[in-house]
Amino acid sequence: MIVFFATDVHGSDVCWKKFINAGKYYRSEVLILGGDMTGKAIIPFIKLKDGFHFDFMENKQILQSEEEVSQAEKMIADKGYYPVRFTPEEIDYYREHPEEREALFTQKALKRLEDWLAFAESKLKDTGIKVFVCPGNDDMFEIDGLLNQSPYIISAEGQAFDLDENCQLISTGWCNPTPWNTFREESDSKLLERLEKMLPLVRDFRRLICNFHGPPYKSGLDDAPELDENLRPKFAGQSLVPVGSKAVRDFIYRHQPMLGLFGHIHEARGTQRLKKTIGINPGSSYEQGLLQGALIEINKKGVRNYLLTSG
């Protein structure tokens, strides 16, 4: 069995399409997405007399033709953000009404996910490829209902699934606390309770894959730039500290599953031996439109081979 794993696509149109197409490309029977599906921000395109004004990553432009605007919107969507056209009056309104701004963001995130599910259906129909996704800490709870309606995407949170006659998958997108107070984060004690609720579902830990969004603490798969009191990286991001979950570490080291698939910390791309468990964090470069992943071959004895991919 060939498994392809990726994570943290954060709204990137092109990364989602690469993920779905990875099944045929790598001849994988199983695709697993490890969380953080939605994007992080709306990018305004403001209609003025001389064209659409937009400012992205300190790059200010004025676009005059519909073709220019459409190309810029695609670029923004591929980087994981939500382009929206506004009049100056609409911009003023949303600045003054944060609750309406939040509702608009949710609307755009759900619309993109709807488009993604339609794309998945067009590519996966009649292929037999199984696709498991698990919303991560940055994902609003509204997306769960959409995922549960899809006939081709399996929402895996808190459940166990048979990947073949021997191999099982369990998943959670919840993680330990972050500085940003995201949707699906909780204390390590509560997270451990969440993980242990799945224990009765497990037949054999030697044939178990754990798809946990948060990596284990001090595993080498959880090193992130150290932040100052303003949540800015210290020493130009060169000072790294472990930020993973002690609950996940405890679970992995006690039960020693065959394979641990992690994400969340984009910079911590790599593989590690966690006693008998093979741990993988493929990292994320979604803003560059680059899908980082892991290709894993599993046979009757366990993990036969694994390779980090990028494309």
Domain boundaries, the chain: 2-39+106-310, 42-98
Structure tokens at 33: 């997405």
CATH number of 2-39+106-310: 3.60.21.10
CB atoms within 10 A of CB 278: 19
Q: What is the per-residue pLDDT for 239? A: 85
Report the alpha-carbon distance of residue 230 to residue 60 in Å, rounded. Answer: 26
Which residues in the chain show pLDDT less than 70?
236
Q: Which of 23, 282, 294 is nearest to 152 (CA)?
A: 23
Q: What is the per-residue pLDDT for 219? A: 98
Q: Which of 184, 210, 190 is nearest to 199 (CA)?
A: 210
Residue type, 89: E
Q: Quote the pTM value.
A: 0.96
Q: What is the per-residue pLDDT for 232? A: 83
Q: What is the per-residue pLDDT for 287? A: 95
Q: What is the dihedral of CA 311, 130, 252, 142, to 10 degrees?
A: 90
Q: Which residues contact 223 (CB under 8 A, 6 or more apart)?
A: 240, 241, 242, 243, 265, 267, 268
Residue type, 127: T
Structure tokens at 29: 């029977």
Tell me if residue 26 falls in helix, strand or coil.
helix
Residue type, 255: H
Q: What is the per-residue pLDDT for 283? A: 98
> Do 291 and 283 contact (CB within 8 A), yes or no?
no
